[in-house]
Amino acid sequence: MKIVCRCEDITEEDIIKAIEEYGCETLAELKQLLRLGMGHCQGRTCLILTAKILARKTGKSLNEILPSFRPPAVAVEIGLIGGENGK
């Protein structure tokens, strides 16, 4: 058993099963189905690894598959951003 996404506890088998069962071709689909890359590190560890698995399984090039990242770049505290008076 190989863990690919440590934050959300997802294995290589989970990913391959989803690709085969649902015909996934994109990282976005795997995120939706498995919560892959949605953990604390926001996929900075697992998405590249998963992209390689997808490339291997679908025959697409790695460039076609590479992830997009949603901000913020690192986790930030609500109080720190919101402040006391919204200014």
Partner 1 sequence: MESKADVVIVGAGINGCALAYEVAKRGKDVVILEKNYIAYGATGRCGAGIRQQWSTKENAMLAKKSVEIFERLSDELGHDIGLRQGGYLIAIHDEDEMKQAKKNVEMQKSIGLPVRIIYEDEIKEIAPILNPEGMNAIAATFCPTDGHANPFKTTYAYAKSAERMGAKIYRFTEVKNIKTSDKKIEKVVTNKGEIKTEYVVNCAGAWSKEIAKMVGIEMPNKPVRKEALVTEPLKRIFDCMVISFKHGIYFSQQEEGQILGGIPSPEEKSGYYTEPTFSFLKHMSYMLGKYAPPLKYVNILRQWTGFYDVTPDALPILGKTEIEGFIQCNGFSGHGFMIAPMTARLLAQLICNEKMDMSIDRLSQNRFKEKIIKEKSVVG
Binding site for partner 1 (CB under 8 A): 22-26, 28-29, 32-33, 35, 38, 40, 42, 70-72, 75-79, 81-83, 85-86
Tell whether omega for the bond before 67 is within 30 degrees of 0, i.e. cis.
no
Residue 6 binding: pick among ligand FES, partner 1, none (C-beta 5-8 Å cut-off by kind): ligand FES
Cα-Cα-Cα-Cα dihedral of 5, 2, 31, 51, to 10°? 100
Position among 41, 48, 53, 55 found at the interface with ligand FES (CB under 6 A): 41
Residue 75 binding: pick among ligand FES, partner 1, none (C-beta 5-8 Å cut-off by kind): partner 1
Alpha carbons 64 and 1: distance in angstroms, whole number: 27
Roughly what angle, to the nearest 10 degrees, separates helices 27-34 and 46-58? 120
Residues that bind ligand FES (CB under 6 A): 5-8, 37, 39, 41-43, 45-46
